[in-house]
Every structure is written in structure tokens, then in C-alpha cells.
A = this chain, B = another copy of it.
Amino acid sequence: MRSRILSFTIFLILFLAFIETPSSLTSTADVRYRSAPWDPPCGLTESVEVLCLLVFVADVSVKSYLVGWAQFRMNLWLLAYLAVLVVSLMDWIVSLSLVCQEALDEPQDPRPGPPCPSAQPHPRWSLAVGAVRAHRHPTLLFMNLPPLRIRRLLRPFFLMQNSSMMKKTLKCIRSSLPEMASVLLLLGVHLCVFTMFGMLLFTGKEQGDGQDRERLMYFRNLPEALTSLLVLLTTANNPDVMTPAYSKNRAYAIFFIVFTLIGSLFLMNLLTAIIYNQFRGYLMKSFQTSLFRRRLGARAAYEVLSSMTAEGEAHRQEVGVRPQDFLQVLQKVQLDSSHKQAIVEKVHSYGGDLLPADEFQKLFNEFDKRVIKEPPPRPEYLSPFLKSAQFVFSHRYFDYLGNLIALGNLLSISVFLVVDADVLPEDRDDFILGILNCVFILYYLLELLLKVFALGLPGYLAYSRNVFDGLLTAVLLVLEISTLAVYRFPHPGWKPEMLGLLSLWDMARLVNMLVVFRFLRTIPSVKLMAVVASTVLDLIRNMRAFGGILVVVYYVFAIMGINLFRGVIMAPGNGSLAPHNSSAPCGSFEQLEYWANNFDDFAAALITLWNVMVVNNWQVFLDAYRRYSGPWSKIYFVLWWLVSSVISVSLFLALILENFLHKWDRRSHLQSLAGDPDTTCQ
């Protein structure tokens, strides 16, 4: 209960970023089309925030009370928790004392009338502002600088603090830092050496020479050359960077290929190897640790309970736990009812004897036994006709028939999609598709009813796949009925009109596509797919810690990005420096119309960061932000590339490897027990 409140609070305080002043509540992030966002009334987000902080204060005081002051002082995580809370609260008080002045101080939204570029906050200033904002005056200089709200940057700490898995993963990353630093150093040396070689190679002599064009485009000066090769390390400008020189002479290609081979294939993969090396046996060890903790807990419980027994009956020689004491304690503990029931039964089987330590431990093995729920009994029908009908409709071939019908449904949608692709939207005739859809939905309804008849309602709901099918059918039915109500019955030349983002009709088709999951469900039953599919499912379960770290990293960088680059990208045309689309050179930010990739609000910043993480075309971002915001913006993007693409992606791969190999080892262990030969080669 406590942990659930805490989780919700963490979610809430993190979610605030979407609503707070550079709010993300516009339909698009594109600076050309964006409308003025809705701003929350003054004090709304602040009051939600203080409520969350108070919950954390309560949490930290409970925790410090539980562990005691001596322990508390030793626990770095708890100390940091306290410090973050204090800083956040102070920052909050400062915000409050300005009574929403912050929002007014900030640069106006670019849409109504963008400020002139010279008045834009310089990125380095806004960092400095963090230091001076406590005692700042509304002077002209600091008038429209966005304040750096430190507490926003600190928020992800609450998420990290709350998960032991994340702390463990963080520890793993930290312990691989020295080796990663050495590989990064090698990478740096590699980059520098090749930059020097490149600048010597492409000195450029005659005008219009291949060397000369290479120099002018990619090796103009040291920062330019470094950036070119850094981007080549991510292969994001691969054929382009070698094109001018390679067109002149084949031999120049060798320079770029050797660079990519060493840098991108060799050193980058070495980073992955280093991270994976730290994660080997990670799952196995965390499994062992949790088992060890449980055994320790059980043993402690045994000691406490047996000392109670000894107190009560001082004359008894034997040491052990009285079953009634144990049952009494068990009543007060929150446990899964089926497990509790099993333990109580086990305890009763001992009679009134004292439980010795090993028997006491064995009791807890009941937790490992999975409860197999018996499906509720089927309804009993008397008539033989009903009985045979029940047999038919509860048979698995009936399931297969349903899947087949669903496949037909999918195929019909796909065929119409392909046929209609070349027809303009206005000329499409949805008559046949409308009829077909009705038929399919009627079949699904029939299937639902027949299954309920055969299995009984409790029996039907006992299988999660039936619940999914039932829900899908219900949603489809509602959508179909409303479609019919709005557009009338299908007739030749029937064209459901379009409303809003997706019309009701399109929605019905989209939901129909969810029928796909009926097939995905059959994948694990194909032998070839079984391991892969179950690995995928397991992975998702074990991925939480990684997901948490990703959230933290994204959050911190997004908030930093908003503080550094908010309002830097401005719509072309009215007073901004950006040229019009038609005049922009090929491959530039403006020509590619990346206007939506800005840092003007939290959601937009997330997508921008995602695009940089995927690395493709990130040189466009580097170049655009260099032009709009200054050369130092490169540091931010390169740092983000290192953190996200290099470290996170390696971490992800390491987790996948670890999960897969763990699974595989257990499977091949089971197989070797069953006498199957090992499947690894040689």
C-alpha cells in the first residue's frame, strides 16, 4: 500500500513536466503551425508538486525512523534523498516567492510575436542564472532569461531512489566506468589521429579538385574536421563524407573505410563487451541474493518466535516455534490467500509439536509452488443435443476456426487497403468492406455467445485470451453500431465521411487490426518460435530497471535541453534568421523541415532526444543548433550521444544477452537432463 502511493507520487511528479509552463498541450510541436499552448493557472502545478514533496518527506522520515540514525548516516542513498528533498523544497519556496513571476519573465511564446534573436538567452548565461537567481532583481539584463529550476533536474532522483534494481544497475555501470573511460580514450586518440591525417590528406590544391571539394565541405578547419569524423563514427554521414574525394580517386575510400572499421565496428563494440562483462551473471546473482534474503528473514522470524516460546514455557528443553504462535502471526500478514491457505494446512499437519528450524524454513517453500487454478466447472446441460453442442464449441478446433475467420478479416482489410492505395480518398467505395465488416463482427459476437454457452461465464473469463477476445468484440460492436448510426447502412457508393483526426470508420478498421494479436498468441505454440517468444516475454519483465534508467536520463537531458535551447528554433519567415525552405541547401534542417524537433516543451524535447539517440541524420541537428544557438551546443549533443546511444544501447544489448543466455542455459540444462544433446557447435 505504501509502495503503491509512493509509485503514484513519483509518477505524478515526473508527469508534471508535461504540464508545467513550457507546456506540451499543443497538437503539434512544429514551430510553423503551433498554436499558443494552454498554460496552467498560477499555483496549480506548484501545489501538486508540494503535495508530492510532502509525501517524500513523510517517506524519508519513516525510513530514517526505521533504520535509526546511526544507520542513516552511513546510507549514502538516504542522505542524498534528504539533501535532494531539502534543495527541492528551498527551490520551491523561491519559486513561490516570485508568485508566478517566472512565467512572465520567460520569453513569450514565439507564435504571437517572436522576440528578436539578439535578445535570446545565451545558453551559458542561463546556466549562470541558476546561481544568481535567489537574489536577482528584475534588471534589464536578466529580464527574460528562463530560470533554471534545479528541482526539476532533481526529480528523477526519486524514481531512482525507489528501485533497488535500478540502484544495482547503476552500480554495475559505475564499476565498468574505468574500462569504458579507457576505450573512450582510445576512441579519442583514434579520432584525433585520423583528423590530423585527414587534414593533411585533403589540403586541396587546385580549384575544383576532388581534394579541394573534400576540404571545403568536410575538412575546412579543425572543429569541422573533428565533427565530420565524429559523425562518421556513428556512420550517419557515411557515403557523403567520402563522396568528393572518392569521386576523384579510389584510394581515398581506404582512409574512410579504415576509420569506420576501427572506430565504429571495433572500438564501439568493445564498449558493449565491457558493459556486458559487468552484467554477466547479473540475473543469476540477483536471483541468489533475493533467495538469500528470504532465507535470512525466515531464520530471523524463527529466532524471534522461538524466543517467545522459550519465554512462555521456560521449563521446556526443546527449542522451536509453537504452531499456534506462527498461525497468529500469519493472520496479521498480508499474503496471497492461496499461499496462506497452503501454509496453514502444512502447519496443521504437524499437529501441536514445536516446529524445528529446518521444518520452519521448509514451510516457506510453499511460496515457490505456483498455484494452478482449476477452471471453474462447465455448466451441465441435460439435453443430449446441448451436450454435443457444448462439446463442439469448447473444442480447440472451434478456436482454430475463429482464428481462421479473423485471418480472413485481416486479409479482407489488407486487400482493400492495397486496392484503394492508388485511388484518391474521395473516390473510394467502401460498400463491400462495410458489408464484410458487419459479417465478421456478427461472427465474433456469435463466437463469444457460443463460448459463454459452452464454458459458462466464469469458465469463459478464466482464460485471459478469452477476456481479450471478448473485450475486442465488445469494442468492435460498439464502434460498428455507432458507425451504422452515424453513416447509415452500407449501400453502393457508400463513403463514410471523415471527422477529426481519425474518423469512426477508420477507427473501426484500426481496432479490427488488433485481431492480429489473436495470431501472435499462437506463436509460442510453434516449436521453432517457443524459445524466442518466451525470451521476449521474459525480457519485458526484466527490463524495468533499464527502462527506469532510460527515463531518468531522458528526463534530465530534456530539462537541460529546455533550459539551454528553448525558443532557439524559430519559424521561418517572420524575422527569424532561417531561410525559406526553397532556398535552403539540400540536407539542411530547413530543407528537411525538421521544425518540430525543438526544445520548446517537454514532449518535443523527448522526441528530439529520441531522434538524436537513433543517430541517423544527427549531423543535421548538430549543424542547425550550431547556427541557431552557438558552437557550444555541440557539447550537449555529443554528451547525449555518448550517454544515450553508446551507453544505453550497450546496456540494452547486455540485458538482452544476459536474459537470453540465462533462459537458454536453463533450457539446455533441462534438455541435457532429458538426454538431448547439447546444441552449441563443436
Contact = CB atoms under 8 A, between A and B. Distances in A.
B179 A249 contact: no
Contacts of A273: 653, 656-657, 660-661
B29 A250 contact: yes
A603 B205 CA distance: 27
Contact of A664 (B186, B269, B277, B617): B277
A413 to B, nearest CB: 7
B417 A280 contact: no
B516 A193 contact: yes
A277 B679 CA distance: 10
Candidate in A186, A421, A528 with the most chain B CB atoms within 10 angstroms: A421
Interface in A571-586: 586
Given A185-B529, A652-B269, A249 B28 contact: yes
A278 interface: yes
Candidate in A33, A186, A603, A657 with the most chain B CB atoms within 10 angstroms: A657
A653 B269 contact: yes
Nearest to A648: B265
B175 A681 contact: yes
Interface in A596-635: 596-597, 603-604, 607, 610-611, 614-617, 620
Interface string A182-217: 110110010001001101110111000000000000
A616 B681 contact: no
A186 B270 contact: no
A426 B594 CA distance: 40
Given A200-B506, A417-B200, A531-B179, A27 B592 contact: no
Interface in A644-662: 649, 652-653, 656-657, 660-661
A656 B270 contact: yes
Contact of A172 (B529, B596, B661, B681): B681
B516 A611 contact: no
Contacts of A200: 413, 417, 506, 509-510, 513
A246 B244 CA distance: 34
B529 A594 contact: no
A594 B660 CA distance: 41
A268 to B, nearest CB: 10
Contact of A682 (B183, B236, B286, B502): B286
A306 interface: no
A289 B682 CA distance: 9
Given A270-B660, A506-B203, A607-B250, A617 B239 contact: yes
In the A-B complex, the 9 residue pairs with the closest CB atoms: A586-B586, A273-B660, A238-B616, A30-B247, A221-B421, A172-B681, A238-B614, A239-B611, A182-B528
9 contacts: A28-B247, A172-B682, A182-B529, A185-B529, A197-B513, A200-B417, A205-B425, A221-B418, A277-B660
Given A220-B421, A273-B657, 12 more contacts: A28-B249, A28-B250, A179-B532, A182-B528, A186-B532, A199-B421, A239-B614, A239-B620, A247-B593, A272-B656, A273-B656, A282-B681
